[in-house]
């Protein structure tokens, strides 16, 4: 990102570093400020509040829909911050310069009021904003590198290398063939110079007769068998893939990007997919959920006017016409699947089944969603039994076993778990 | 071994070992054509066609899947989350039937009705009609908007027309069934004030006789509260209080309390029944005596005299009548005075007056029968209604408003009303459908379905309940109360009117001191509200002598003519819901007949008239009642009193809709209201003649038999039980290595381990009254298909839970005389039968594709998508509880007329989205509501806790009004079922040591080790006699 602007890159970089340095110092300085606690509990509690209420629009160290928050208690007093969080419009209306400047800077976007947050919540929130999830640049770089390395090691040989290796191997094989051919011709010449009896001569001058080979029973049988096997394999594969829509990526009525919302903006999946922890279906968000943010956000950052895609939400609301999304994941009616069992109880990440959703511009079906795929996972997945009283007896009965308690051990492979 | 010589039989053909029956009983599946068109065998050409089709279908399936849309709300309501059910308290009330209910909705659609446990009246229980009423919401034959002069119109023009016509009409009458709602009465009062109208109430199943008798005897025209739970001796003269009389759900619950016994407390009530037809209540009685309807009044008088002489009161003169067990009943009533109860199903005020007097003599007034806290269930006044019909035909009525009632069909003088409607200057109906009455009126202002309406109810003084909409109105209908208010010139919506009414009356009485809104929200949430009301002591003011002499005049001890006793079935009731296929296909608990009414006759009459019934085949007969004639099929009914005939109400609808039209005959036509009350017992002018026409009645009784195995029913008398708690139990033993051991000690199987849960069901045959609420509940919960009469005849009904009804008698049935004797008055036992979830399941071992397998929680799982339909499992099932989908019952025009819940777009709204609708060619059976088990477990897991007993319950057990079915986890020592079965050791083994002496497995000897346990039937008889 910075390399593209080589001319301003250096000062910018310097500026950023300086800022980070200052922030770091600031953090140190405020560590003694009794107004903002740096206790672990406060930060953890603050994170919960942040994720539930702020994360949709704010980041700690970057501008998002709203400004970066870290250092707010440095820039303003904690009390100011609290009253602004509670009711920003009141602070703006009171004529506060800083508030009005902020309001203007962010295109007069109104921040919803948070009167329901208690003082304790706000204290914790400020603690989190100040001390939570600090990214040390060096550590971050190392972590990225480590992650990249880890990926290489974990995934075995990368595909591009694989191709190269195959090509090299083929070349080597060809070379060997040529060398062998040469050796044969040299040897033949050498043998021909010798005195030989008839049999040996016949053997040496023997010609390779293609026709004979082609007509031989063995060849016909082998070829037929191969063809039959190939056709059968194709047919079986074809039949198995009937109804499997892996990779299905229909065009949606709104060009909604998960990469932007879930990836860049890091909005929690549950914010929109409200049913995922409570019910069978994760729920496609209703238009009023979109409006929570798009009441304020009318375009991608930095662009003027109302985005035509966002306009479609406004039209839906105005005309009371629901948005007809195209369903991507279609399980057959005979299979019962419940999101809350997997997400809330099992603690499975969304990405486990839905893939790198935070990178998808257009959502596609990542997994095959076949029964084999379900069963494989049930065979391998351990039960998240920790702290869940429901599983106590099962864990206790399983204690003697060497293997961990897996879904298969508690009936996860039984028909009536999904079919009824 | 069996200690008595009793023979158990499901039907007369089994008793007489009819060759046709034996042939069918030996077969697992009847040999019938497998196609509906019945056009011979499939040819080679058909085979090629089918093959071509399958190839084409396979290649089509390989194409890209269809695009499916996911359409979210624009503005999602806070309360509605897709896939998560919401529950709303509401109230069902129709024609005097009442139940406080909880409605389960999914994605805004009501899909299931359960009882409201907070209700002191029905105590969380329901019956078949209440269960099934959710389907009538999605009836596509409901009226979709207002009608004026047979043409569709809009509400404003209808209102203008109605207002002007009513204002000019002169005398305005509103005709309704019992109105339980005080606020509706207020709205009607406004309407009446505006037009000078008068409200006339009548009930199709009238109990006017009781109210009239109360007026004579106590000076107040009320129907009292009855408390069967406080009664040690119950004597009923033809009152079917468990099936249809006044408040059957409430009474069944009370009655069952007196029938639950244990070793620690071996006490139960004794129940005497004197009746003509074998009713559901009679089938549960300890002593049942078949008597003629013409004798019933005299029997009541005789009982009065017996009690009076014991009490030292003056007796009345009455013709002598010979009634078995009557003296015994009198003695026990007297011994238990103050804790006994005498009821009569007669609608004759004179008989009821004598019954009141008997209860008064016994000191029951105030304990088991309470006139101080009367009920509002049946407020209909037969005399007023009679007068109305006369006035209507004389042209004395200017305008008539039918408020959700259908007297053209369900009043004895229906034909006269049909004729008279045209004589009124104006007529309006608020009926939901174009039925027999609304099709004759000038204007129809269709009411909402009750699940779309606001209302309140006061079934008993001080007991209130609310109903609230659980779905937006599906059609352009309007709540009838709103219509009345609009016509009266009041533009308040009924919802506001209701709230105002509660604020001004109930809120001031309750004195909570809080906000009204809070009080309202709480009442709505609970669905019920009880306000303490003083129960006044009511003392007799009248005399029994006049009534007694009237009874002595009207009844006779030796009527030689034929008599007709009109009765009501538990599922169809008064016929209002005849268009509901769930109810039509529910077998009558006694006759096991579906989709019909019929003349029940005694075996003696059948023998005399040369009628023999083999399986479904029977003859038709013509019944002539004082000039009115009907032709009905005949059904030989064991227990039918000699010389009497029975015919059920609720059938013969002509404008009910496509399901109910033309099913059976209308028995209301035969009733007589000339004596000032609707008389259901016709004792004179009845003749019955057999015709040559043959007919088939679709009965399920002999389907799915146990192949003549005995000991399916195990029973004892109370006296035997007191001596030995395991009395009546059949304990098979098998010889093994020199000793006799229990069958469970020998097994080929290693046995399952159930480490977490072990689901089981305990069924008390002593509490099961056979009411069929469970089977309808199962049908709703599990999307069980309705197959229609023809397919029931083909023995292909789909019910997952059936109630086997066994007759028993100790007479031999080797000749016709013996048959007559055996079927004169047999004992009856009900046994609910569903998949027994065997631990050593015979079905699992024979499935070639492992479509039916065992779970680690004791369930026998059925995987539809794996099943290929070999039917081996059903062949190998000793309990005959597996059902095969012979056809595609959903989305199939051939079943659209009966299986509406799986064919209409609207009807499909009622389906349970958590249960698959099964395809053609697969087997299905009771899953023990596995969807509920899974949901309950998931909730526990989400909340990180263990499953609590009661969190999970199966649909049949929830509905059961008598708590005869108890479901639970047998691995949980604290669960109700573990305690009932007295499982003491804590084991994960599939074989639990059950210490309850009454508990047994059906067919224990074959050691399939079911997870369903039955408790022996205990009869409160002095000795074992049939």
Residue-wise pLDDT for A50-82, tens only, equals: 887 887 778 787 777 778 888 887 788 888 888
Does 2.40.40.20 match the CATH number of domain B560-699? yes
- What CATH number is associated with residue A111? 1.10.760.10
Residues A17 and A45 in one domain: yes
Asked if the structure places residue A185 within a domain, the reply is yes
CB < 8 Å from B in window 225-284 of A? 238, 242-243, 245, 250, 274-275, 277-281, 283-284
Task: Please tell me if residue A288 touches chain B, with a CB cutoff of 8 Å.
Answer: yes
Domain-terminating residue out of A77, A109, A139? A139
> How far A361 CA sits from the closest chain B CA (Å)?
19
**C-alpha span between A226 and A219 (Å, rounded):** 10
Q: Percent of chain B having pLDDT more than 70?
A: 92
Counting beta carbons within 10 angstroms of the beta carbon of residue B744, is it exposed (0 to 12), middle (13 to 18) or buried (19 or more)?
A: middle
Contact state of A334 with B931 under an 8 Å Cβ cutoff: no
Residue-wise pLDDT for B696-727, tens only, equals: 999 887 655 554 556 888 888 888 888 888 88
Asked if the structure places residue A146 within a domain, the reply is no
Nearest CA in chain A to B932: A420
Task: Please tell me if residue A336 touches chain B, with a CB cutoff of 8 Å.
Answer: yes
Residues A50 and A172 in one domain: no
φ and ψ of B426, to 5 deg: -145, 145
Residues A271 and A402 in one domain: yes
Residues A278 and A393 in one domain: yes
List CB contacts (< 8 A) between A394 and chain B.
Answer: 755-756
**C-alpha span between B438 and B848 (Å, rounded):** 57
Nearest to B790 by CA among B26, B38, B41: B38
Partner-chain residue, chosen from B62, B72, B927, that has the shortest CB–CB distance to A420: B927
**C-alpha span between A420 and A337 (Å, rounded):** 11
Q: Tell me what the mean pLDDT of segment B327-347 comes to.
A: 90
φ and ψ of A134, to 5 deg: -70, 135
φ and ψ of B736, to 5 deg: -145, 120
Nearest CA in chain A to B65: A243
CB B446 within 8 A of CB B142: yes
- pLDDT > 50? residue A10: no
CB B516 within 8 A of CB B503: yes
Residues A221 and A370 in one domain: no
Top residue of A254, A271, A415, A417 to mutate, by most chain B CBs within 10 Å, is A415
Q: Tell me what the mean pLDDT of segment A336-352 comes to.
A: 92
Q: Percent of chain B having pLDDT more than 90?
A: 46
φ and ψ of A7, to 5 deg: -70, -45
> How far B957 CA sits from the closest chain A CA (Å)?
20
Partner-chain residue, chosen from A245, A336, A390, that has the shortest CB–CB distance to B940: A390
φ and ψ of B756, to 5 deg: -105, -65
In sequence order, the 6+-apart residues with CB closer than 8 A to the CB of A194 are: none
Counting beta carbons within 10 angstroms of the beta carbon of residue A213, is it exposed (0 to 12), middle (13 to 18) or buried (19 or more)?
A: exposed
For residue B94, the Cα-to-chain-centroid distance in whole angstroms is 14
Partner-chain residue, chosen from A274, A389, A411, that has the shortest CB–CB distance to B856: A411
Asked if the structure places residue A144 within a domain, the reply is no
**Residue B934's pLDDT band (boundaries 50, 70, 90)?**
very high
Partner-chain residue, chosen from B70, B83, B862, that has the shortest CB–CB distance to A327: B70
Domain-terminating residue out of A177, A209, A229? A229
List CB contacts (< 8 A) between B67 and chain A.
Answer: 250, 326-327
Asked if the structure places residue A243 within a domain, the reply is no
Partner-chain residue, chosen from B68, B84, B857, that has the shortest CB–CB distance to A279: B84
Task: Please tell me if residue A393 touches chain B, with a CB cutoff of 8 Å.
Answer: yes
**Residue B146 tokens, joined:** 């207002």
Question: Nearest-5° angle of CA B556, CA B560, CA B565?
Answer: 75
Top residue of B83, B753, B930 to mutate, by most chain A CBs within 10 Å, is B83
Residues A72 and A18 in one domain: yes
- pLDDT > 90? residue B753: no
Averaging pLDDT over each range in B39-48, B90-99, B174-183, which range is the top one? B174-183
User: Which residues form the domain of A401?
Assistant: 258-417
Quote the crossing angle between the two packed helices B480-487 and B182-195, to the nearest 10°. Answer: 30
Top residue of B67, B72, B955 to mutate, by most chain A CBs within 10 Å, is B72
**Residue B149 tokens, joined:** 């002069």
> Rg of the Cα trace of chain B?
29
> How far A266 CA sits from the closest chain B CA (Å)?
23
Asked if the structure places residue A60 within a domain, the reply is yes
Task: Please tell me if residue A327 touches chain B, with a CB cutoff of 8 Å.
Answer: yes
Residues A173 and A135 in one domain: no
**Residue B839's pLDDT band (boundaries 50, 70, 90)?**
very high
List CB contacts (< 8 A) between B947 and chain A.
Answer: 390
Residue-wise pLDDT for A126-164, tens only, equals: 888 888 877 655 554 544 444 444 443 444 566 678 889
Residues A319 and A393 in one domain: yes
Query: Regarding the domain delimited by B7-26+704-1019, which CATH topology (the fold level of the hierarchy) does it fall under?
Result: Alpha-Beta Plaits (3.30.70)
Helix, strand, or coil here: B343? strand
Q: Which residues of B866-903 are buried (b: 16+ CB within 10 A; e: fewer)?
A: bbeeebbbbebbbbbbbbbbbbbbbeeebbbebbbbbb
Residue-wise pLDDT for B510-519, tens only, equals: 776 788 888 8
Asked if the structure places residue A277 within a domain, the reply is yes
**Residue B818's pLDDT band (boundaries 50, 70, 90)?**
low
Residues A86 and A30 in one domain: yes
Q: Tell me what the mean pLDDT of segment A221-236 comes to.
A: 94
Residues A19 and A123 in one domain: yes
List CB contacts (< 8 A) between B988 and chain A.
Answer: 397
List CB contacts (< 8 A) between A325 and chain B.
Answer: 69-72
Task: Please tell me if residue A315 touches chain B, with a CB cutoff of 8 Å.
Answer: no
- pLDDT > 70? residue A15: no
**C-alpha span between A131 and B581 (Å, rounded):** 67
Nearest to B11 by CA among B946, B519, B947, B701: B701
List CB contacts (< 8 A) between B74 and chain A.
Answer: 286-288, 316-317, 320-322
> How far A254 CA sits from the closest chain B CA (Å)?
13
Asked if the structure places residue A236 within a domain, the reply is no
Residue-wise pLDDT for B640-695, tens only, equals: 998 899 999 999 999 988 898 989 999 999 988 888 888 898 888 889 999 988 99
**Residue A9's pLDDT band (boundaries 50, 70, 90)?**
very low
**C-alpha span between B372 and B764 (Å, rounded):** 35
**C-alpha span between B867 and B182 (Å, rounded):** 55
CB B166 within 8 A of CB B172: yes
Least confident of A411-420, B42-51, B499-508, B849-858: B42-51
Domain range summary for chain B, segments of one domain joined by +: 7-26+704-1019, 147-206+380-526, 208-375, 560-699
Residue-wise pLDDT for B871-904, tens only, equals: 999 999 988 899 999 999 999 989 988 999 999 8
CB B372 within 8 A of CB B218: no
Please provide the CATH number assigned to the domain covering B208-375.
3.40.228.10
Looking up tokens 């109370």 gives B718
- The ipTM assigned to this model is 0.83
Decide the pairing of beta strands B1012-1015 and B759-764.
parallel
Residues A20 and A125 in one domain: yes
CB B436 within 8 A of CB B414: yes
Structural domain total, chain A:
3
Q: Which CATH class is domain B147-206+380-526?
A: alpha beta
pTM for the model:
0.83
Contact state of A345 with B941 under an 8 Å Cβ cutoff: yes
List CB contacts (< 8 A) between B940 and chain A.
Answer: 390
List CB contacts (< 8 A) between A242 and chain B.
Answer: 61-62
Q: What is the 3 state secondary structure string of chain A? A: CCHHHHHHHHHHHHHHHHHHHHHHHHHHHHCCCCCCCCCHHHHHHHHHHHHHHCCCCCCCCCCCCCCCCCCHHHHCCHHHHHHHHHCHHHHHHCCCHHHHHHHHHCCCCCCCCCCCCCHHHHHHHHHHHHHCCCCCHHHHHHHHHHHHHHHHHHCCCCHHHHHHHHHHHHHHHHHHHHHHHHHHHHHHHHHHCCCCCHHHHHHHHCCCCHHHHHHCHHHHHHHHHHHHHHHHHHHHHHHHCCCCCCCCCCCCCCCCCHHHHHHHCCCCHHHHCCCCCCCCCCCCCCHHHHHHHHCCCCCCCCCCCCCHHHHHHHHHHHHCCCCCEECCCCCCCCCCCCHHHHHHHCCCCHHHHHCCHHHCCCCCCCCCCCHHHHHHHHHHCECCCCCCHHHHHHHHHHCCCCCCCEHHHHCCCCHHHCCC
Q: Tell me what the mean pLDDT of segment A192-217 comes to.
A: 74
Nearest to B486 by CA among B163, B152, B189, B179: B163
Measure Cα distances from B151 to B425, B437, B443 in Å: 18, 16, 9
Residue-wise pLDDT for B94-128, tens only, equals: 876 799 999 999 988 999 999 999 998 888 899 99
Contact state of A289 with B83 under an 8 Å Cβ cutoff: no
**Length of chain B in terms of residues written:** 1026
In sequence order, the 6+-apart residues with CB closer than 8 A to the CB of B814 are: none
Residues A103 and A193 in one domain: no
- pLDDT > 60? residue B322: yes
pLDDT of residue B170: 84
> How far B778 CA sits from the closest chain A CA (Å)?
14
**Residue B815's pLDDT band (boundaries 50, 70, 90)?**
low
Contact state of A390 with B947 under an 8 Å Cβ cutoff: yes
Contact state of B756 with A317 under an 8 Å Cβ cutoff: no
**Residue-averaged pLDDT of chain A:** 80
CB < 8 Å from B in window 344-363 of A? 344-345
**Residue B861's pLDDT band (boundaries 50, 70, 90)?**
very high
Domain-terminating residue out of A104, A139, A174? A139
Nearest CA in chain A to B988: A397
- Number of neighbours of residue B737 by Cβ within 10 angstroms: 6
- pLDDT > 90? residue A342: yes
> How far A325 CA sits from the closest chain B CA (Å)?
5
Asked if the structure places residue A270 within a domain, the reply is yes
Looking up tokens 């049930």 gives A378
Q: Tell me what the mean pLDDT of segment A181-192 comes to.
A: 86
**Length of chain A in terms of residues written:** 420
> How far A113 CA sits from the closest chain B CA (Å)?
20
Top residue of A322, A416, A418 to mutate, by most chain B CBs within 10 Å, is A416
List CB contacts (< 8 A) between A415 and chain B.
Answer: 851, 853, 855, 861, 863, 866
**C-alpha span between B584 and B788 (Å, rounded):** 9
């Amino acid at each position: 990102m910075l390399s593209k602007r080589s001319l301003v890159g250096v000062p910018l970089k310097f500026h950023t570093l300086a800022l980070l340095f200052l922030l770091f110092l600031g953090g140190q300085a405020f560590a003694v400020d009794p107004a903002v606690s740096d206790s672990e509990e406060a930060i953890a509690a603050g994170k919960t509040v942040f994720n539930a209420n702020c994360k949709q629009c704010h980041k700690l160290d970057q501008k998002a829909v709203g400004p970066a928050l870290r250092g707010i208690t440095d820039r303003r007093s904690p009390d100011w911050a609290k009253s602004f969080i509670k009711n920003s419009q009141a602070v703006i209306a009171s004529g506060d310069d800083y508030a009005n400047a902020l309001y203007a800077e962010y295109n007069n976007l109104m921040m919803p009021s948070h009167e329901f947050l208690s003082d304790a919540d706000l204290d914790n929130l400020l603690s989190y904003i100040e001390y939570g999830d600090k990214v040390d640049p060096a550590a971050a770089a190392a972590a990225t590198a480590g992650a990249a390395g880890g990926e290489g090691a974990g995934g075995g040989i990368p595909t591009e290398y694989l191709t190269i290796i195959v090509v090299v191997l083929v070349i080597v094989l060809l070379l060997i063939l040529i060398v062998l051919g040469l050796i044969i011709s040299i040897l033949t010449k050498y043998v021909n110079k010798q005195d030989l009896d008839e049999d040996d001569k016949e053997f040496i001058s023997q010609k390779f007769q293609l026709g004979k080979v082609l007509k031989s029973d063995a060849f016909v049988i082998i070829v037929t068998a191969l063809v039959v096997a190939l056709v059968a394999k194709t047919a079986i594969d074809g039949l198995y893939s009937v109804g499997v829509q892996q990779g299905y990526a229909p065009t949606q009525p709104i060009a909604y990007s998960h990469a932007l919302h879930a990836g860049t903006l890091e909005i929690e999946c549950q914010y929109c997919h409200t049913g995922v922890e409570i019910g069978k279906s994760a729920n496609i968000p209703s238009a009023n959920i979109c409006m929570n943010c798009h009441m304020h956000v009318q375009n991608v950052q930095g662009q003027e006017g109302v985005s035509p895609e966002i306009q479609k939400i406004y039209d839906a609301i105005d005309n009371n016409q629901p948005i007809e999304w195209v369903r991507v994941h279609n399980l057959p009616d005979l299979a019962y699947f419940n999101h809350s069992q997997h997400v809330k109880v099992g603690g499975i990440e969304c990405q486990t089944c839905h893939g790198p959703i935070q990178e998808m511009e257009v959502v596609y079906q990542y997994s095959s969603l076949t029964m084999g795929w379900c069963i494989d996972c049930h065979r391998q997945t351990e039960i998240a039994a920790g702290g869940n009283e429901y599983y106590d007896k099962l864990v206790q009965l399983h204690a003697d076993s060497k293997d961990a308690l897996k879904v298969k051990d508690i009936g996860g492979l039984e028909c009536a778990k999904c079919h009824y | 071994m069996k200690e008595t010589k009793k023979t158990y039989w499901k039907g007369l053909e089994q008793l007489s070992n009819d060759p046709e029956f034996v042939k069918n009983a030996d077969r697992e599946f009847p040999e019938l054509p497998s196609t509906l068109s019945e056009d011979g065998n499939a040819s080679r050409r058909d085979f090629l066609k089918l093959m071509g089709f399958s190839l084409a279908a396979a290649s089509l399936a390989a194409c890209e899947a269809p695009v499916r849309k996911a359409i979210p709300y624009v503005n999602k309501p806070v309360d509605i989350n897709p896939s998560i059910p919401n529950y709303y308290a509401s109230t069902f009330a129709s024609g005097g039937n009442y139940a406080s209910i909880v409605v389960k909705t999914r994605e805004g659609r009501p899909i299931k009705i359960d009882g409201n446990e907070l209700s002191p009246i029905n105590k969380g229980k329901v019956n078949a009609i209440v269960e099934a009423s959710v389907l009538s919401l999605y009836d596509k034959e409901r009226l979709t908007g207002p009608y004026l002069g047979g043409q569709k119109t809009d509400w404003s023009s209808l209102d203008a027309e109605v207002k002007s016509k009513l204002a000019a009409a002169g005398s305005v009458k509103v005709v309704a069934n019992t109105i339980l709602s005080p606020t509706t009465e207020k709205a009607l009062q406004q309407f009446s004030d505006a037009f000078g109208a008068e409200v006339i109430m009548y009930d199709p199943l009238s109990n006017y006789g009781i109210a009239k008798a109360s007026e004579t005897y106590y000076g107040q025209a009320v129907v009292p509260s009855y408390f069967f739970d406080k009664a040690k001796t119950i004597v009923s003269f033809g009152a079917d209080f468990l099936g249809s009389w006044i408040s059957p759900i409430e009474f069944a619950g009370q009655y069952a309390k007196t029938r639950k016994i244990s070793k620690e407390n071996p006490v139960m009530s004794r129940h005497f029944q004197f009746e003509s037809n074998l009713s559901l209540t009679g089938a549960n009685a300890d002593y049942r005596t078949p008597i003629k309807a013409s004798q019933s009044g005299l029997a009541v008088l005789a009982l009065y005299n017996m009690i009076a002489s014991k009490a030292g009161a003056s007796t009345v003169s009455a013709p002598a009548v010979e009634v078995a067990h009557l003296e015994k009943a009198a003695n026990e009533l007297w011994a238990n005075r103050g804790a006994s109860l005498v009821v009569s199903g007669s609608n004759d005020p004179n008989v009821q007056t004598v019954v009141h007097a008997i209860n008064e003599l016994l000191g029951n007034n105030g304990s088991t029968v309470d006139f101080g806290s009367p009920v509002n269930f049946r407020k209909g006044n037969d005399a007023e209604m009679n007068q109305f019909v006369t006035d209507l035909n004389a042209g004395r009525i200017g305008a008539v408003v039918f408020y959700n009632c259908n007297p053209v069909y369900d009043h004895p003088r229906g034909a006269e009303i049909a004729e008279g409607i045209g004589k009124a200057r104006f007529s309006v109906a608020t009926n939901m459908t174009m039925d027999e009455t609304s099709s004759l009126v000038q204007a129809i202002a269709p009411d909402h379905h009750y699940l779309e309406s606001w209302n309140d109810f006061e079934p008993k003084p001080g007991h209130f309940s609310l109903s609230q909409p659980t779905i937006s109105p599906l059609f352009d209908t309007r709540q009838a109360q709103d219509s009345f208010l609009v016509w009266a010139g009041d533009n308040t919506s009924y919802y506001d009117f209701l709230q105002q009414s509660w604020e001004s009356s109930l809120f001031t009485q309750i004195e909570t001191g809080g906000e009204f809104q809070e009080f309202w929200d709480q009442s709505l949430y609970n669905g019920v509200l009880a306000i303490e009301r003083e129960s006044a002591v009511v003392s007799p003011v009248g005399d029994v002598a006049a009534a007694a002499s009237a009874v002595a005049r009207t009844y006779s001890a030796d009527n030689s003519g034929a008599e007709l006793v009109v009765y009501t079935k538990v599922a169809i009731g008064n016929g209002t819901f005849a268009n509901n296929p769930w109810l039509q296909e529910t077998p009558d608990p006694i006759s096991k007949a579906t989709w019909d009414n019929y003349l029940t006759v005694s075996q003696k009459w059948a023998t005399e008239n040369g009628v023999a019934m083999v399986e479904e085949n029977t003859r038709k007969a013509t019944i002539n009642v004082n000039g009115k004639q009907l032709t009905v099929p005949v059904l030989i009914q064991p227990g039918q009193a000699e010389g009497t005939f029975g015919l059920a109400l609720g059938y013969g609808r002509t404008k009910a809709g496509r399901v109910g039209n033309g099913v059976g005959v209308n028995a209301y036509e035969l009733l007589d209201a000339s004596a000032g009350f609707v008389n259901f017992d016709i004792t004179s002018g009845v003749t019955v003649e057999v015709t040559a026409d043959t007919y088939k009645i679709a009965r399920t009784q002999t389907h799915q038999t146990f192949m003549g195995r005995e000991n399916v029913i195990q029973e004892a008398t109370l006296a035997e039980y007191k001596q030995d708690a395991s009395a009546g139990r059949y304990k098979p033993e098998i010889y093994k290595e020199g000793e006799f051991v229990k069958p469970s000690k020998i097994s080929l199987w290693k046995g399952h381990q159930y480490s977490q849960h072990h689901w089981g069901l305990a069924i008390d045959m002593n509490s099961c009254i056979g009411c069929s609420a469970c089977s309808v509940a199962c049908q709703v919960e599990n999307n069980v298909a309705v197959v229609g009469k023809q397919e029931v005849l083909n023995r292909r009904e789909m019910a997952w839970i059936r109630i086997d009804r066994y007759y028993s008698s100790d007479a031999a049935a080797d000749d016709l005389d013996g048959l007559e004797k055996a079927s004169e008055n047999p004992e009856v036992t009900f046994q609910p039968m569903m998949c027994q979830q065997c631990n050593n399941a015979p079905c699992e071992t024979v499935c070639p594709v492992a479509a039916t397998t065992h779970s680690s929680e004791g369930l026998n799982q059925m995987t539809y998508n794996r099943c290929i339909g070999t039917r081996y499992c059903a062949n190998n099932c000793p309990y005959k509880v597996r059902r095969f989908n012979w056809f595609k019952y959903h989305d199939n025009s051939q079943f659209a007329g009966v299986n509406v819940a799986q064919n209409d777009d609207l009807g499909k709204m009622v389906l349970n989205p958590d249960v698959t609708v099964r395809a053609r060619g697969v087997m299905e059976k009771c899953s023990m509501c596995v969807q509920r088990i899974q949901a309950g477990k998931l909730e526990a897991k989400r909340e990180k806790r263990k499953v609590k007993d009661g969190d999970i319950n199966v649909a049949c057990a929830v509905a059961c009004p008598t708590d005869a079915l108890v479901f639970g986890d047998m691995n949980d020592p604290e669960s109700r079922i573990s305690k009932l079965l007295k499982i003491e050791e804590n084991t994960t083994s599939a074989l639990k040591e059950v210490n309850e002496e009454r508990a047994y497995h059906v067919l224990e000897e074959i050691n399939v080790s079911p997870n369903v346990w039955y408790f022996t039937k205990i009869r409160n008889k002095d000795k074992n006699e049939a």
